[in-house]
Structure formats: C-alpha cells, structure tokens
Amino acid sequence: MLRLDSNKPDFAAAFGALVNARRESDAGVSADVTAILAQVKVEGDAALRDLTQKFDGFDLDREGWRIDPAACQAAYDGLSGDLCDALLLAAARIRAYHAAQLPEDRDYTDEVGVRLGARWNAVEAAGIYVPGGRAAYPSSVLMNAIPAKAAGVARLVMVTPTPHGEINPAVLAAAHIAGVDEIWRIGGAQAVAALAYGTDKIAAVDVITGPGNAWVAEAKRQLYGVVGIDMVAGPSEIIVVADGANDPAWIAADLLSQAEHDPTSQSILFTDDADFADQVAAAVEAQLAELATGAVAGASWRDHGAIILTESLEGAMPLVNRLAGEHLELAVDACRAETLFALVRHAGSVFLGQYTPEAIGDYVAGPNHVLPTGRRARFASGLSVLDFMKRTSFIGLDQAGLRAIGPAAATLADAEGLPAHATSIRKRL
C-alpha cells in the first residue's frame, strides 16, 4: 500500500505516477476481443454456441438459449421476505430518481418567426449486460434496466452468462421486478457482439449498457458506433476524504468495500491527520484478516491502495479532482462536507458526510451506480435515462422567416465554397 505525504519533495512525481497509472486491459485482451467480434459477426449463432461451450461449459442447444419469464416470476416468488423487501425498496427509489431525469421537449417561435425545438424519444431496443454465475449482482439489473424502462424503451434485452448452468435467482427476480423483456444465457465479448450485430436468434439493439470484465468492456469500446454504449468501465475505485474525527474502522470498511470487487480495484484515503492515517491502515489489516473476500481485497489494497497525507482537507481537493474518481466520500461533518463539495470538479458520484458510506449508493439511495472510472469523470457522467434516449431537433420557417435569416445562410455557404447550398436557399428567396 502506497503512503504519500504532500510535504515531501518527491510528492509531485509520486502522485503524478499514481494519477497516470493504468489498471485496465492490455493489448492481449484487445486482440482476443477483436477475434471474437469477427467470429460472431460472420458465424452468428454458431459462434455463440461454440464460445459459450468453450468459456462457460454450457450447451445452449441442450439446456436452452433463453430464460423464460416464468422462471423469473418463480425466482421472485421464492425470495426471502427481507431480500424481496430490499429489492423492492431499491427498485422504487431507483425508479423515482430516474423518472425525475426525463427531459422535456421544446417547441417555440423566436423573434423573427422561426419555429425551433427538440423532441426526445427512447431508443427502440436496448441491451443490458449482467455478470453471471453465483457471484452475480441483482443491483446491476435494477440500475441498468429501470432507467431504460423509465426512458420508454420498448424492447429490453438482458444477456448474462450461466457458467455450468449456474445463475443467481436474485438476478432473475430483479429482472422480473424491472420488467426485462428477454434474457439470453450468453456472456463475454460474444454476448456484446450478438447485441450489436444481431444474429438469427437475437435481434440487434441500439444501445448496450452494463458492467463486465475486461473483455466485455473492450468489446463495448470496439463496437461503439455500431451501437451506443454507456461507457467503457474499468476497475472500481473509491476516494475517501476524512479527518481524524472519524472512527478508523468505518473508513477502513469503506476502503475495503471497493477493494473487494477485484484485485485491480483502487481505494485511496486523503487525510490531514497522520495518527488517523496509521489507525486506518491498522484497521484495514485487521478487517482483511476476517473478510471473506480478503484475498481479493488484500491484493487490491497492497497493489493499488494509497493513503495520502495533506496539510488540510481543502488542500487535498485539487488532488482529488486530478484523480477524478468513480466514488468520492467526504467523510466529515455536514457543514464541512458542503464546503469540500463546493470544491469538487470531477467525480462520478459524491457521498456527503460521515453517515453516507459509498455502499448505500450501490443499492438503495436512487442515483445510478454505473459510473465513470479511470479518470473519465473529467468528461463523463453516470448512467441515466438519457443514455437510452436521443434528441431530434426541428426547424420550421415561413416566407418571412426565410427572408430574415436566409441571406446570411447563403453568404456563409458561398464562403465555404458550397454553391448548391446557397442556391437551395436563394431560389426560395
């Protein structure tokens, strides 16, 4: 685990190396994905059949390509009371938050009589990728499917691998709650290719969202333009800004909440209290010894974790903005949290105050947990209903409107050497 002190002479170079470190897929993954995409594009369902057998040990023809809606209903009916209540609470809060994001159409006439505006429509079909197997995430189903349905997507397709036939019943129950229309038992880059290109069995979609491993992320990157995507997601990350008034065990748990996702995840603590930094480091080690996911979390913490000591928390915020993290906790009292929040320029999602652990945002708060990673929060936002919608502008002129603005348009066309553009306007004038 890296320890940095902003007062040390080598800090700038060491922090710069931390900012620029890459924890994402290498060229080998890119080449593998390119080959898989090409295979699916040419061979279609035959490629899906072969690759699913190869990677998941699952025979689609024998066991079935799709999961029937009745199976999702049965999974929902079989939930324990507490889990059912938790999923329904999460779904209701996610639905309410995302319904409030729906944009309004515009239609107005300006001062020279030109009608202008824009109309929003949902894409016709969307695909969501859900990681598979027993270690699957029903929360990811809700976070991806509910915004799509809130946007008005008519056909919502879910792909999820079922290695050796295994699937988490809670994932099926979440699909039932969210209103997923189709579920296909395929995963990996080949599933993304099927959604993008379409096959005889699986009709193509317009947008693909959802988390996955390095191969899934790379497939989405390569297929952007064939379809829309939410983002290219990398390993998870959390930045915690905390003062010494915190319980070090709380902050240690927050750091480990992201470290347990993957050995390439990253957890970083900024503090202005050296004794507190030592206490958090000790608490992390103590909790790792008892954590069921300790092997993964420990590798992440040792290889990519960091504790950074700064003179003040306010002085840490420019450094936080350079990292542009996926999750940012401001673990200070409510008043100071607002002060620090005002200094935040780049973060996927911000968690305000000592009683707002990042994990609450993963499940039940309402905002989406699909967030930009790898410093992409500098230019990207979390998943929203807008990822499943597109805006069409419109223009309407009468004779008076054309006389008001047409001559200027023709002049600009002349200047750009496009005489047919100019002629199409001047003939009307």
Which residues lie below 8 Å from residue 101, measured CB to CB, with a gap of 6+? 147, 150, 384, 385, 386
Longest dimension (CA), the chain: 80
Which residues lie below 8 Å from residue 303, measured CB to CB, with a gap of 6+? 263, 264
| Burial of residue 54 (number of CB atoms within 10 Å: 0-12, 13-18, 19+) | exposed
Strands (E), 37-124: 106-109, 115-122
Would strands 327-331 and 106-109 be described as parallel, antiparallel, or unpaired? unpaired
**Closest to 151 measured CA to CA, from 388, 428, 425, 348:** 388
| Burial of residue 93 (number of CB atoms within 10 Å: 0-12, 13-18, 19+) | middle
3-state helix, strand, coil in the chain (%, to 5): 50, 15, 35
Residues marked active site are found at 326-327
